[in-house]
Structure 1
């Protein structure tokens, strides 16, 4: 059961004797760390915060050593949102806006990312221990939904064939979320001693999602997850697991930034050096600055080390 610990917390639980599981997450500290590095408009902040909560909820169920990277590629005033969460629930996030973008507080998901119907939602599973030649798994779908929770639900149903319901909320103080999933029959749910019938599974699933649907955004933003768990499922027999704690972490390094420059190509880098004298690169996630002069860049292209694929928005050149 959760405690009075005020850290970022993710709480897993299962419904007794039914193939239904859930998670609640609240992320105040990491979310403030992310916001401290960028002043995002309110509407952008809301969607990015909801993605932060969702990334932790989905990552907590991954069975591999790696990271889940969630992206929205937009054709409106917001061009890109990126949230990365690894198996240890270490999270980083950033957003790229169009030049001179003016975004009202009430802007919808469609207004922000899908103004011309070309918005895309992408989830990448990037293993940390890839074997030579192995590529990350990537799923790309249209930006289908009126809010972030619906977009992810549709993705999970289309790409993973898994019934998933999400409730997400974020403001400038906290990002919270609830996930419910109906698991495949005979999936061996951890902690259960009895296999429910298919009818019992369906009954529990429908009841759980009906309870989840009573959640209001303001309630999520002002209520801690321990209270939410009790308030929603006090009549249910559920089992809870030890909570885990998301945290902010940026994985940028000088080597990774150098690799990004190699991806640009020697001709483009030398052209930029001729104009600027040296290259200054800021990590879009944490703001850390890296300088590369002519000697540094020459060493990059003198080595025979292979170029590794980097996720978008890992850095920008100034």
Structure 2
């Protein structure tokens, strides 16, 4: 038995007022961290954050992006994952001091979670909540309780040795007026889901895992969605940024440094532009 890696599955319970999401990450997670020498605790934080962002992005009902960022006064200044409706992810963490602990508060100190939703069309939305809870999953549940006001349970996993991550989200479906029954259904499904183990999310396929959790229930599994790492940086984007300096600014920088060197924070790719490469910007005609 082996997991179908880098895939997000959504599912619905026929007989209960509840829905779920399951994400399993392997190569995409490895791609996010491969050019960064993160400590194990930070690697696992980014893995959980990536799984969480996948789960949140799957809830979008439109084309757009979600950014989930934790920022605090601890040794990790911030950790952020950006994702879109295509489940294309990228992320980074900024470490400003020595890592001596492994808990969320050890890493982040006093911190906030900032969730930004950016529709392709329409106005952006940003929600900010203080990090409350011992785990990232608890903090996200607090976010849903205060902003969405829908009963939500989240489980997140990350392993810095195998470089795998995953997560599960359950949410009540408010499709009737019987709120008491909705919550009873949700509690029942939550108890079943709470038996989920890290090795299962890493090793089992979605079908195998959902059967293990809910074999006595009727579950509808929707078409899976592939998760991938897509940085988005390019030489053209770098040139566009340099062009914003104007001819005088470009020439002044070249006179002092001989070239522009730009390194992408997300993938660590370095782009270099000397006078010859910038000739079209300096002499557009």
Which TM-score bucket, shorter chain as reference?
0.7 to 0.9
Q: How many residues align?
A: 282
The alpha carbon displacement at 1:122 in A equals 0.7
Distance 2:261 2:281 in 1: 15
Match of 1:56 in 2: 54
Structure 1 or 2: more strand by fraction: 2
Distance 1:78 1:272 in 2: 32
Match of 2:215 in 1: 234
1:159-238 to structure 2, matched below 5 A, reads 159-172=147-160, 173-186=163-176, 197-238=178-219
Distance 2:147 2:14 in 1: 27
Distance 2:212 2:151 in 1: 23
The alpha carbon displacement at 1:226 in A equals 3.0
Match of 1:94 in 2: 92
State the SS of the aligned residue for 1:70: strand
Distance 1:300 1:71 in 2: 35
The alpha carbon displacement at 1:61 in A equals 1.5
Q: Identify which range, 143-152 or 42-51, moves more after superposition.
A: 143-152
- Over the residues paired in the alignment, what is the CA RMSD in angstroms? 3.1
Instruction: Please give the TM-score of this superposition, normalised by the length of structure 1.
Output: 0.77
Q: Which of 43, 57, 68 is the matching residue for 1:70?
A: 68
Distance 2:219 2:89 in 1: 28
Distance 2:243 2:2 in 1: 48
Aligned 8 A contact 1:185 1:198 in 2 = no
Match of 1:148 in 2: 136
Q: 1:156 to 1:255 in 2, by over 3 A?
A: farther
Distance 2:190 2:98 in 1: 37
1:42-53 to structure 2, matched below 5 A, reads 42-53=40-51
Distance 1:267 1:110 in 2: 47
Q: 1:175 to 1:295 in 2, by over 3 A?
A: same
Aligned 8 A contact 2:21 2:169 in 1 = yes
Distance 1:259 1:76 in 2: 35
State the Cα deviation string for residues 76-134 of structure 1 (Å, max 9, x = none). Answer: 11111110111011111111110xx3224x521101111xxx4111111122345xxxx
Q: 1:20 to 1:6 in 2, by over 3 A?
A: closer
- 1:244 maps to 2:236: no
Aligned 8 A contact 1:15 1:239 in 2 = yes
Match of 1:111 in 2: 106
Distance 2:82 2:7 in 1: 17
Q: Unpaired runs of 5+ in structure 2?
A: none
Q: 1:62 to 1:102 in 2, by over 3 A?
A: same
Q: Which of 113, 120, 127 is the matching residue for 2:119?
A: 127
Aligned 8 A contact 1:250 1:285 in 2 = yes
Q: 1:301 to 1:29 in 2, by over 3 A?
A: same
Distance 2:142 2:247 in 1: 42
Q: Unpaired runs of 5+ in structure 1?
A: 187-195, 304-318
Match of 2:21 in 1: 23
Q: 1:166 to 1:264 in 2, by over 3 A?
A: farther
State the SS of the aligned residue for 2:137: helix
Distance 1:254 1:242 in 2: 35
Aligned 8 A contact 1:169 1:221 in 2 = no
The alpha carbon displacement at 1:270 in A equals 8.3
Q: 1:154 to 1:175 in 2, by over 3 A?
A: same
Q: 1:241 to 1:121 in 2, by over 3 A?
A: same
Distance 2:33 2:151 in 1: 32
